[in-house]
A and B are shown apart, each in its own frame.
Chain A
Amino acid sequence: EAQVTQNPRYLITVTGKKLTVTCSQNMNHEYMSWYRQDPGLGLRQIYYSMNVEVTDKGDVPEGYKVSRKEKRNFPLILESPSPNQTSLYFCASSIGTGLADTQYFGPGTRLTVL
């Protein structure tokens, strides 16, 4: 089944404790992206990647890191999480033709930083 998977689905952590949220897709997609979703603010892009070893900042990149060493994986790293990073996070992927490709979303990771 074609899908985007994220792990963990739920995470409660404390301020300053480094964490990684994994994202993997099995559709051979070039483009991958991370979003956060907050009430009243909608989905906002954190980082995206057009291909392996190519990443770029979205609208809200502060406090986050990403890497794209393999085509299928795009982990999101929070080096020193803070309470304002409590949010619902989604990974997405698309074919990546440079046109208006459909992005397919993972199931989400609900992160709480105490």
Chain B
Amino acid sequence: EDQVTQSPEALRLQEGESSSLNCSYTVSGLRGLFWYRQDPGKGPEFLFTLYSAGEEKEKERLKATLTKKESFLHITAPKPEDSATYLCAVQGNTDKLIFGTGTRLQVFP
């Protein structure tokens, strides 16, 4: 069964304190791994898609990496506006997206 586990559940960082969020997955035939950002009461906002192990993508202070078993979302020198819940999802051989429960990130000034 396809499954996604994200850790930690919650993360508190000081502004400028870099860290990483983890997404571990098991899926039959990975087609893509997605990262989304979700602000309270809003819909998930697309960040990245990774397709194969070894791939990396960057956007401002965020960098996503992928191995055969997990993905990391690295946050470099975060700012308070980076506070949000970060969701990981995978798509395997089916047409379904399987989501993790997310990491709630809080960045304090």
Q: Which residues on A are within 8 Å of B, measured CB to CB?
A: 4, 31, 33, 40-45, 48, 50, 56, 58-59, 90, 92, 98-100, 102-108, 110
Contacts and interface: CB of A to CB of B under 8 A. Distances in A.
Q: Is the interface of A mostly helix, strand, loop or mixed?
A: strand
Interface in B53-105: 87, 89, 91, 95-97, 99-102
A106 B43 CA distance: 6
A2 to B, nearest CB: 12
A33 B99 CA distance: 14
A76 to B, nearest CB: 15
B101 A90 contact: no
A-B pairs, 3 with minimum CB distance: A100-B32, A105-B43, A42-B101
A104 B99 CA distance: 14
Contact of A100 (B36, B87, B91, B99): B91
Residue with the highest number of chain B CB atoms closer than 10 Å, among A58, A100, A104, A107? A100
